[in-house]
Chains A and B, each alone.
Chain A
Amino acid sequence: MTDPTATLTRPVIVVQNAVKSFSGRVVVDIAELTLGDVPIEGLIGPNGAGKTTLMRMVMHSTGLDRGTITLWPHGAVAGGGVVLSNLPSHRMAGHGVVKSNQVIMDFDKLTIWDSLLLAAAASKSERPHRIFDEPRVFAEASDEVARYLDEFGIREPSTYAKSAGEKKLLDILRCLLLKPKFLLLDEPTAGLPEELTAKVIDEVRTVASQGTAVVIVEHNLDVIWNLCDEVHFMAEGKVIMKGTPAEIRAHRTVVEKYLGEGHV
């Protein structure tokens, strides 16, 4: 477990009165929630609880019916808040807020190299007149990309990602290459082979120890219990419980009611 008392100032995201409904059915309704208090936070809850929707609301890829979501880049006490829910979704990465996807998202026409270089490239290299910038982008990113390729055993980066697992991994690697300050992971280990799961978890620990705030949604509760400093339990659009893994597990009846027996 990472040390929650580390002196790094971590960004904090504050969700206030955030409501989202789909065709009249309220899916997320959160009065007040602060994310990023501790290095790695878990978000668990049954299917349909609204975990993905909440994360998409933070990224503003799903609009809010009402409420605000604010990023405090240097912690809640410091100033300089950015109202994420007023920004278009492409501005999030610039503020260091990055999310991986639960369902597979990929660029079907791009190779693995392409996909990773795209994430790493600065936008000034991507203007219409910058037609000689590839060597520069490659030089700046290739060491880091090569390290990930090596670590995760991707041997043919010039080809397209084929398996679902490879695409899922690529999605996470793209997020890491964006150098996130606030990293949201939506079921990052679902569909990954076991040895890759361990490596992804290692990477998550590393970025968290370097000052990135991480929020992770997982159905694999072993990952949650081992990795997280704090866990939010979400059901029916609301966070109904919050505490350390031990505290959450102590509420056996609640957890089992929602997640079924054998999870605690």
Chain B
Amino acid sequence: MNLDWLDAFLIYGFFTIVVVSGLGLLLHLQLGLARIANFGVVGFFGIGMYSFGVLYVKVDWPFGDPWQFLVCIAAGTLAAGLSGVVVGWLVGDLNEDGVLVGTLGFATAVFILATTEKELTGGAQGMGGLQFPYDVGGVKANELLWLVITAAVVGGIVFYVWRVHRSPYGRLLVAVGSNEPLARSLGKPTFRTKLWLFAVTSAGMGLLGAMYGVMERFLRPTNLGVDITLAAMVALVLGGSARVWGAVVGVVLTVGFFDIIVQNYLPVPVEWYSQALPVMREALFGAALILVLMFRPFGILGDMRRDKLMRSLHGD
């Protein structure tokens, strides 16, 4: 396949859009429905990425790819899900400030572990040895296929989130977010509900982390900067944190605009790429967030519309 027309940067741009959209969608279940503000997204992402990477590179598996790859990626997902249960258990009964500090602290702990556990992770130097579980001819083709696979996974997440809105489970999450004591008085085990929510969404974040690691092929603690959490959070709030498509719309407008339009099509001086652009990116995202919160506090898509949803599901 001749892929000369395709810029490698473009693949990366789209890949970032897809991954951050996936994170934003999972965050939407926590923030938009259950109203839990998780500032540790990148921690779960990192647990998935490093569990996968360490298992894949350091363990002598009796079987090769694709099984080795699949087993390791499943293990990374599981590890992230379990860390979600632990973090959920720790923050489940705390107020918003407690959740913020707890999740942010967790993400910091993951970052520090990735840096200090040199034996396992290679520390700040990073760890190589990851590869795609296939070879379809050429780096670019492999990366393109990985983009497609990741997009399919995120498509699955969109479908799940869309279904959750239309299911009794989604209603329970909204109830827990709106009035937890009342939900409890109706017999709903709200704490357990939050634990399961954390387990499932964290597992998803871990899976995306592992997939991100595969694309990078080289794991460094700098992959786990707070900018990933912020990108997902900003995009979600910008697009509409209570809406299914909020995260996707937000990511396209922020990451899409910046990582694709600005970085690929605007005549930016080359020396800006390493220093100036990342800073501009954060500043622009922050400014966009402030503007939206001032003029459209529920985001571009607006607030949840369960009245419309109920009408479409059950008539008037």
Contact = CB atoms under 8 A, between A and B. Distances in A.
Nearest to B177: A109
A121 B182 contact: no
Interface residues of B, number: 38
A178 B186 CA distance: 7
A59 B163 contact: no
A118 B171 contact: yes
A127 B164 contact: no
A99 B182 CA distance: 10
A142 B313 CA distance: 13
Contacts of B316: 156-158
Interface in A217-231: none
A92 B187 contact: yes
A89 B184 contact: yes
Interface residues of A, number: 45
A138 B179 CA distance: 22
B185 to A, nearest CB: 6
Interface string A102-145: 00011111110110011101010111101111100110001000
Interface in A152-167: 156-160
A99 B181 CA distance: 12
A123 B188 CA distance: 7
Interface stretch (B131-139, B224-232, B302-310): B302-310
Contacts of A92: 185, 187
A131 B197 contact: no
Contacts of B175: 107, 110, 114, 118
Given A118-B171, A128-B169, A107 B182 contact: yes
Contacts of B214: none
A159 B306 CA distance: 8
B2 interface: no
A90 interface: yes
A242 B97 CA distance: 47
Interface of A is mostly: loop
Contacts of A108: 178-179
A142 B311 CA distance: 14
Interface string B160-179: 10011011110110110111
Interface in B120-145: none
A128 B196 contact: yes
Given A110-B175, A118-B172, A158 B310 contact: yes
B296 to A, nearest CB: 18
B301 to A, nearest CB: 15
Given A105-B179, A130-B169, A119 B186 contact: yes
Contacts of B189: 90, 123
B200 interface: yes
Contacts of A117: 168, 171
Given A114-B306, A178-B187, A131 B174 contact: no
A61 B181 contact: yes
Interface string A66-97: 00000000000000000000001111111000
A174 interface: yes
A155 B190 CA distance: 31
A118 B186 contact: yes
A28 B51 CA distance: 54
A123 B185 CA distance: 13
A113 B310 contact: yes
A99 B197 CA distance: 27
A121 to B, nearest CB: 5
A121 B310 CA distance: 16
B187 A109 contact: no
A225 B313 CA distance: 44
Contacts of B160: 131
B178 A89 contact: no
Contact of A121 (B168, B190, B193, B311): B168
Given A127-B196, A130-B168, A134-B166, A59 B185 contact: yes
A138 B313 CA distance: 10
User: 8 closest A-B pairs (Cβ-Cβ)?
Assistant: A93-B187, A131-B163, A107-B178, A90-B184, A158-B311, A158-B310, A126-B172, A125-B168
Interface of A: 59, 61, 88-94, 98-99, 101, 105-111, 113-114, 117-119, 121, 123, 125-128, 130-134, 137-138, 142, 156-160, 174, 178
12 contacts: A90-B190, A101-B182, A109-B178, A109-B306, A110-B174, A114-B174, A118-B183, A123-B188, A126-B171, A128-B197, A157-B310, A158-B315
Given A109-B178, A114-B310, 18 more contacts: A90-B184, A90-B188, A90-B189, A94-B187, A98-B185, A101-B185, A111-B310, A114-B306, A118-B172, A118-B183, A118-B186, A119-B186, A126-B168, A128-B196, A131-B163, A134-B167, A174-B186, A178-B186
